[in-house]
Structure 1
Amino acid sequence: MSKAAARSSAPGEANWFTRPPLPLPPEGIEAAERAREDLLDAAEQAGCKRLQALCQGSGGLSSFLASAASLSPFLHSVLERRPQILEALFDTGVEQRLARIFDELAADVAGETEGQLMARLRRLKGEAHALIGLADLSRTQAAQETVRQLSQLAEACTCAAVRFLLRDAEASGRLKLPQRDDPQAGCGWIVIGMGKLGAAELNFSSDIDLIVMFDPEAPAIVDPDEAGDLFVRLTRRLVRILQDRTGDGYVFRTDLRLRPDPGSTPLAISVDAAMTYYEGRGQNWERAAMIKARPIAGDAAAGARFLKELRPFVWRKYMDFAAIADVHSIKRQIHAHRGHEAVAVRGHNVKLGRGGIREIEFFVQTQQLIAGGRVPELRGRETVPMLDMLAQQKWIEPETADVLGKHYWFLRDVEHRIQIVADEQTHVLPEDDEGFTRVARLMGFEDEAAFEQVFRSTLVDVEQHYAALFETAPQLSSGLGNLVFTGDVDDPGTLETLANLGFERPSDMIRLVRGWHYGRYRATRSAEARERLTELTPALLRAFSRAGRPDETAVRFDGFLAGLPAGIQLFSLLQNNQPLLDMLMAVMSAAPRLAETITRSPHVFDGLLDPRLLSELPSRDYLAGRLHVFLEAATGLEEALDRLRIFTAEQRFLIGMRLLTGLIDAGRAGRAFSHLADLAIGHALSVVQAEMEAKHGSVPGGRVAILGMGKLGSRELTASSDVDLILIYDHDEGAEWSDGAKPLASSQYFARLTQRLIAALSAPTAQGILYELDLRLRPSGNKGPVATHIAAFRSYQERDAWTWEHMALTRARAVAGDESLGHRLVETIDAVLINKRPLGELRKAAREMRALLEEEKPPRDEWDLKLMPGGLIDLEFIAQVAVLAGAVESQGRVTGTGEILRCLSPAFVEPGSREVLVRGHDLYTALTQVIRLCVTEPFDGEGVLPGLSDLLLRATDLPDFTVLEAHVAQTAVAVRSVFNELMKA
């Protein structure tokens, strides 16, 4: 520390963080000074004189606090609200203060009520959370210590709540605790920490995953027959104490979905029922999950006994081919997808993305499941210590352990910085410059490019090690057996090989492949093509086998093959490009809609050959650049429209492939599909206008703008969405006719222009159609004119529009056409929407419309995510009512339902309910994007394709389809409850 800094340091500063200020971008220096001033004001108001003196100085600690607060709005808010957290550090070190917090959490307060307990837990957790975050940012401690402290904090808070609830149950006579001074001993209530909590590797803004059980024979149980109801009620209260948001915040979000069969079991189940489930129906992912299981609260001895009895389920004594197949099925269920070496950094999911944390964890867990049955030393919970142990036991090279260990903690650091910004449970690096720079600076990088380079090389390195794990696995490197497809009689050995691969109709499969080799398709007519296909066939069969339903996948591939004009290049590419084969099989096995697309239009597959596909995100600028290049050589209306149809189909397919492979998430897919629609509609309008002007001239001052409604307006289109449009026009006052060789009256001119645009967009052609259109949201609906003058539009919206039409207008935006008219149109809409309606009237209208919808269009089943009670319609109605009621707090106008829900005013909905709505919308969006991408028929959840099931589970980060079904049902109930509360009379 310099002499100047030392002079400005306050007494006791040695107890604090030793890091110099975090590097700030030039525009961040002013923000840091504002943060310092905010902290100074807060210290002054709270009487924290030593902190006040510190903030007035210019020392390294003061600068560090200012830089941390400016980069982390979460820390800024906490420290400004509770400067006493920092004032206390003048008397004690950070470690000592954390120790005292843990002591306070372990202490029981006589006479404390549940409300007082909730407030105390939130206060102590909030302080500890901030201190741990600051220590982590300052590098005063390593990431290993941070995750341990966060896990200890979660465990201490859970134990405090459990002790309170046990004593409360005893006071009411429902339990008789064996040890009053240690209520958890012998209580029979078992709380198992799973995932990162179980491994003591919790991240900064993590849920805590729990499995709750009870032992009805425990000495504390008064009536074994009532134990189930008792512990379910206690568990429900435990969750409420920990995760309900109050004025003091929340403690930890709690997830109980890892319990056995969560869709049909209570929140707490007996140990016998759990053991019966695992022994009879336990899944591969549950074996992997149980590696990290650890009793964290309640009856520790009973929890330890249960996990000991469960060891044979987790740790197989012998490894045979069936067990190895189990391990590889976990790979499928964990949803790790390999791809090209190029990795998009911005927008990358550091946990679930390629080369991310999950791949390192699964690398370790796979080896543990293979060897842990025979090598007890490999049964540990923590990731990096198990990497080292794998190296000691010669299962991996020491260099691999060192490299992956280093990468693991680097990625955990990145994860913590992403989350410390706003205390949000996100793992995605921001795409925007400001957000990305913020994370880079929190990581200590002064140069964003340097951070990007290190991050990218880390992902590539992890992915390569992860890929090598499966390339050398026994099942993947061994021969398949006989594969003979010549002659007219089926080879018995080939029938056996195909049956072993999982084909239900091996004889039909032989005939299918035999047909390929007979050259019955254009793609296989040349001898060279058949040679290449023969060499590729074993890899194809293996890929079909991994798909889960090999017969169906093979038939879809056969349809694709039948439509190919040539095959040599493709067969060569597939033989030498495993990622490309994997992507093709993902389509065939999981996405019948996409399979139909490439079968009908094989040219869309060409886009997958672009090596930049998986490294470039489908932003508007990216798509616009590609569109310009693709269309610049077009001559004439029909060629331009045909090229536009080809381009749109290909890009829609490639956006879908990015979603399918996990490169982009559902939200970004919705924006990309919407960007593509904007550009296609805009280009179609321009060529149609050019044709109109050539024949009929133009109306003086004539201008056209396209208003996007519905999911186009909210930028939430899916792969199969139709588009809702309204065409608005304007012209000079008194302009009654166009000025061309064949003049038209102005209203007729714009009506005909609209009709030609409709034909250009939706008429079926040899190249397909651009979009299905819906124009029913125009003024007066189907009875109104297809084109509307802006004055008529304004008049209708101000005087005649129904409430539901104004609700629909909340999602409207100008998507194409004349920019000045588009701006004027948006101003008109804003003027209509800014007139706040009485909330009571809006609620009444929304209730009536929802009831009418439920009567006229009831949900198909529990997978009708749009129409079901608590589904997307409920969320959209809430968002639309909030906009009309002026209950949205945003810096600018937003049209996306998810964006609006995130900006709902606390006066309109309390924060906990808002989080229910946001999470519900995120869940439904993730599922809807994948379902609409993959299937053509209504999705009902029965007999779902394994590949599609994997995609849905990856999109929602859930381990099993039954868990997903339960989560959807629980979410719908929660959303409907909030809807009813917000819309009540």
Structure 2
Amino acid sequence: MGEIANGDGGFLIGGANRPSPLDGDTAQRWRADLQKLAAERGLENLDRLLSGDHLDAERLVAVIDLSPHLNAIVFKDPEWLEELTKGSSADLTRETIETVAGLPGPDETEQTLMAALRRARRRVALFLGLADVFGAATPDATTRALSDFAATAVGAALRFCLRDLHARGKIVLPHAEDPEKGCGVFVLGMGKLGAHELNYSSDIDVIVLYDERQGLTEDPLDAPETLSRMVRRLTRILAERTGEGYVARVDLRLRPDPGATPVAVSTAMALTYYEGSGRDWERAAMIKARPIAGDVDAGERFLKEITPFVWRKYLDFAAVAAIEDMKQRIDRHRGFDTVGLKGHNVKLGRGGIREVEFFAQAQQLIAGGRAPKLRRRRTDEALAELASGGWIDAATASELTEDYWLLRRVEHAIQMLADEQSHTLPEDATKLRAVARLAGFEGEEALGEALLPCLKRVDRRFGRLFTETRGAPSARPDDEGLRRLSRSDDDGEAIAALKVLGYGRPEDIARVVHGWSLGRYKATLTSTARARLTEVLPTLIAAFAKAPDPDNALMAFDRFLAGLPSGIQFFSLIASNPKILELLAAVITSAPALRETIAARPHVFDALLDPAFLGEVPTRDLLRERLSAFLGIARDYEDVLGRLRIFASEQRFLVGARMLSGIVEADEAGPAFSNIADVVLEATLPAVEAEFALTHGRIPGARTALLGMGRLGSRELTASSDVDLILFYDHDEGAESSDGKRPLAPSAYFARLTQRLIAAMTAPMREGILYDVDFRLRPSGNKGPLATELGAFRRYQEGEAWTWERMALTRARIVAGDPDFAGEVAETIRVILAEPREVEQTTKDVAAMRQRIEAGKPPRGPLDLKLLPGGLIDLEFLAQWALLTQNADLGLCGAPSEAVLAAADFGPAADGKALARAMNRFTRIVQLLRLGPADVRTIAAVPVGLSRAIARAVDLDDPEKVEAWLAAETERVRAAFTNVLGAPPA
């Protein structure tokens, strides 16, 4: 049906709906009565409309027959219908809200303010109600306008109360002419009000807070009582029913600890509560919090301060269980067991509005700490961001959004009947028909045809978010039997199921699994953790049954579980993401390095749950963006260091898991690990400098740059690499000391700064260490100053540096610091390396150094690729020799050895491209080996899954062929090394 035109004499509303009255005769009587009233009051346009045959007249009388609430407004103030013949419903609503924003006037009394607000509320209800029923306004637009009016009304009432308290000397406002400005008192709109989603007859949930440092009252001890009295007065102004009606029912119960706190709460008290006692439902509530009145700047500061409470550093899967528990308690308390039409609660019932909200909020709580774009107040916007980020698919977001707005439209229709905060469809057939027609349907049958499938879709989507799918049948017939292992280790049915799954010693496995339920491990110490584990037992056991050796795989998980510090989050994670178990099984059985990382810091597993895991290898720019967002809500320096550790360990773990999964080729891992180190060091250095300056100040003109050396410099880091660094500095000539509370001379300042940087990276914290750090490649090694002044470095390199130190510089790369100074350091290194060198002497030095390493550190097995003759050191030395002798472009300094070898000119002595291919293959093996047990030197000692990955990485079909292939390949590399550099001297 198309849009109904507003012809001469019609309302300026529009919309395509043509509601029918419940009773045609009654509707005509309403029409006659209203026409008579219009004539009596001289409302010519309305009189003319009702006396003619315009469609808007029929639509209007249908609405006043269907809605007793709108009927009462129309007959009390028919003049507003006259206005609708001259101005649009949207414009009249906006003008009404703007009028309220100008209240209170200079001579306003409490009584006149209350009357003005109630009159404005009825106007908005009429204009929005008619637009809604006529189909001219979307539920989205209606909820926004209702929210704007409510927030504006709260602001008017608060301004009146503040102004009055100031006039009576109870408080001192910093700006009496603008009471809200800088007053420190603010109102947080919560729930639907905060999210701009207010319904037609909703209560408004608010929290009133004040910054006690503002000093509104002469005696700070008077503030709680004075401001609480003000809040009670504000509530009365809004909520008390008079002959004019009411503005809004006010609910203050979302404030911190409402049973024990005053109705006006200080920000200090609120922060202490949230940080120490805040619960998951309060975190969910704070997602929608918005300053709506009072000192909005103070409100924004408060919300920023509680950001770490709402948005956790880790993916928070325990929040999912908490939200599910909350919903189940609502269901049990209210008796919502089925989906139906008559008597169904479209907000709290199965498939209702609350389930769409919970669906979005649960996932916002899980991931919002890592993904700031998810921190949306509105439900539809949150769903859109969840889809955009890949957390849910686009079809789910679209379906839930459409269903959400249908439910909101029906909710509005329910509330239009009698202006009550009801969400329940009437049992009475006549009232149900009225709701259907107000919502845009022909009758209850058409309503049911649209609403029942909607409720079922929402119910299904919500249920899938949790493992406890409301009594849904188990995915496998033996699930219940496997769960009984938590109660007994000799359950015959469970043991038989273990055997069918492929376990070779099912009785032994049953005893191990049963042992988890006895609370002997920290991870299963609490009853909640054991309950979560019992729920996921069947999925967990089935996942490990798919391993090459199920028994050993499950025993490896047992060892992992024994070292896990806590279990609730981990088991909740598995419950919400059962597919992750297959990767977990691979990690636990094949990659001890990753397994130990998870055991020490289980939250690194969060990285695998990011939807981007399968689809991207993050670039440095993307990593910077994510780290910046993650550090943006850090509370202090220690929190910054903790967050840096979380980020780095998660991202390193993610690269390793991608390698293990085959998503990332092993030769891509070096740049990926190096990108992580780059962005972390970029953030760490300025954080350390800023913290150091709080005590010691700054050296005039000070500039620093961090030089990455070794594998970091050549972008070849592995999962277990430390980072080789040199800190360069300079400062204004003549600067004698820093300008802080405890000044230091420049040399001491930068040495201490470097010590602080090392401590920031290596100090054990709850989140582990950031990186092991090595500064021994600085001039004179451990004997030299810890920080390196650029001029001194230049002089040392010109007069004292050894060939091996020049070799090290070929792998140098600036990773952090002042951009201009970094450029100077890089240019200094380029000039040093470009100096002409005696090729024969350089060749002898490189060969001699290789001989010393070979004599002092012989290889410890056929997989010791670093030390094997013809292994990584041979290839790295060939690349460094090529750069030093200018047989490779110096622009490749700081590039991976593979790139240098491929571009080098070795003449007839060696094929650079063949050496590059060998470097590529060796790199793949080394990267994968670093995920395995430490010091493994034979393929037989490598876990089966990992050995298979190694074989695949070098295009072999059997791990047993790896060592023979390596022997042949290293022999070829050693031959090339000898051809280029000569045999290492004895």
TM-score by length of 2: 0.49
Q: Give TM-score, length-normalised by structure 1.
A: 0.49
